[in-house]
Amino acid sequence: MPRALITGVTGQDGAYLSKLLLDKGYEVFGLLRRSSSGDVIDERLRWLGIAGRVRMMDGNLIDLSSLIRILNEVKPDEVYNLGAQSFVKTSWNQPLLTGQVTALGANNLLEAVRLVAPGARFYQASSSEMYGLIQEPVQSEKTPFYPRSPYAVAKLYAHWMTVNYRESFGLHASGGILFNHESPLRGIEFVTRKVTDGAARIKLGLATELLMGNMDAKRDWGHARDYVEAMWMMLQQEKPDDYVVATGRTVTVRDMARIAFGHVGLDYEEFVKADPAFLRPAEVDVLLGDPSKAKAKLGWSARTTLEEMITEMVEADLFRHRARMR
């Protein structure tokens, strides 16, 4: 039975990846940072019907000693580094913490793998945010980076350290440059989930408006369930490498909101109000990925359309709110 260790196991991708690996017959271990809200930590795993099937290991990405101990104990074949302070807007408010977790945390894990489990295959959750102020209209593995937030700068450090450990120490370390991916398990602070939850609440009479930031930003949005497959595929390759994972289609936040509200028969323009509190000190205006390398080398392509995904998310939020109202 292959063994996998996932950091960020309580997050959106950690849940979908755990499900994928369990379905493939893996023994799955998750790095769990201690929280006072212990009763809700496996909420996402429960949603996917896999609560209790991931073995939780007490540790933290910023505590190298915990990573060494866990790797010694787990002896994983594959390590997926999904743990991060992942909310871009918060990274301006907590730039140092973002650097410690998202940048140095990845370095801690690479170092622990090098020292304790050098044969393990390593996946780094790199991000399209690294392109930032874009240098080319369609971004591929060859497009230069220009990060625009403390989060993106931290991810870029982690990305290059992954490349560096591969080239310096021969680690089987790959970087997945994933464009935005969403699902019913997306954190409520991210724009798609905020909109699908808002549309559901307004439809059910639980809210009357939705306050939003920049509606003109464009993103290449896919489904997390599809994207975790690409992570796994990267680690099955003989050689480690970096891959863009995207749909190849970009739409505005406005268009995404139109789809979400439209699904419940509402016009978003009647309910969405601008609030400067949700604007960012520096914006990434548009992202559009070129997934042709992932398609050619991994045989991966996105399966779920934006419309299908947003519909699934709105339905999930309606379900949650109706359950609470009962």
Helix axes 191-203, 253-263, angle to 10 degrees: 30
d(CA 188, CA 56): 24
Angle CA 291–292–295, to nearest 5: 90
Q: Is 127 a catalytic residue?
A: yes
Examine residue 226 and tell whether it contacts ligand NDP (CB under 6 A).
no
Is 253 one of the binding residues for ligand GDR (CB under 6 A)? yes
Q: Does residue 85 interact with ligand NDP by CB under 6 A?
A: yes
The minimum distance between CB 317 and ligand GDR, in angstroms, equals 15
Stretch of 62-70, 125-133, 139-147, 310-318 lying at the interface with ligand GDR (CB under 6 A): 125-133
| Site mask for ligand GDR (CB under 6 A), range 29-68, x = bound | ----------------------------------------
Query: Whose Cβ is closer to ligand NDP: residue 125's or residue 309's?
Result: 125
Q: Is 145 exposed, middle or buried (0-12, 13-18, 19+ CB in 10 A)?
A: buried
Within positions 275 to 304, which residues make up the interface with ligand GDR, using CB under 6 A?
278, 280, 283-284
Residue 129 is a catalytic residue: yes
Check residue 60 for interaction with ligand NDP (CB under 6 A).
yes
State the CB neighbour count (10 A cutoff) for residue 230: 24
- Taking the complex as a whole, the smallest distance from the CB of residue 46 to ligand GDR amounts, in Å, to 22
Indicate which single residue of 4, 12, 193, 233 sits in contact with ligand NDP (rule: CB under 6 A). Answer: 12
3-class DSSP assignment, residue 17: helix
Residue with tokens 């992954």: 162
* Helices within 55-205 (DSSP H only): 64-74, 90-93, 95-98, 105-116, 150-169, 191-203
Q: Which of 190, 248, 262, 301 binds ligand GDR (CB under 6 A)?
A: 190
Nearest alpha-carbon partner for 279 in 209, 215, 213, 235? 213
Return the bridge partners of 139, or none.
289
Cα–Cα nearest to 126, from 179, 187, 88: 179
Contact between 214 and ligand GDR by CB under 6 A: the answer reads yes
Cα torsion 45, 51, 52, 56 to 10°: value is: 10
Which does residue 101 bind out of ligand GDR, ligand NDP, none, counting CB within 5 to 8 angstroms by kind? ligand NDP
Q: How far apart are CA 164 and CA 181, in angstroms?
A: 26
Tokens describing residue 141: 């593995």
Contact partner at residue 31 from ligand GDR, ligand NDP, none, CB < 5 to 8 Å by partner kind? ligand NDP
178 binding ligand NDP? (CB under 6 A): yes
- Residue 268 among the catalytic residues: no
| Residue closer to ligand GDR (CB basis): 71 or 104 | 104
18, 83, 89, 289: which is closest to 177 by C-alpha? 289
Least distance from C-beta 132 to ligand NDP, angstroms?
A: 13
32 in helix, strand or coil?
A: strand
Q: Is 180 in the site for ligand NDP (CB under 6 A)?
A: yes
Write out the residues near ligand NDP by the rule CB under 6 A. 7-14, 31, 33, 35, 60-62, 82-86, 101, 105, 125, 127, 178, 180-181, 187
Write out the residues near ligand GDR by the rule CB under 6 A. 86, 88, 127-129, 179-180, 189-191, 194, 212-214, 217, 219, 253, 278, 280, 283-284
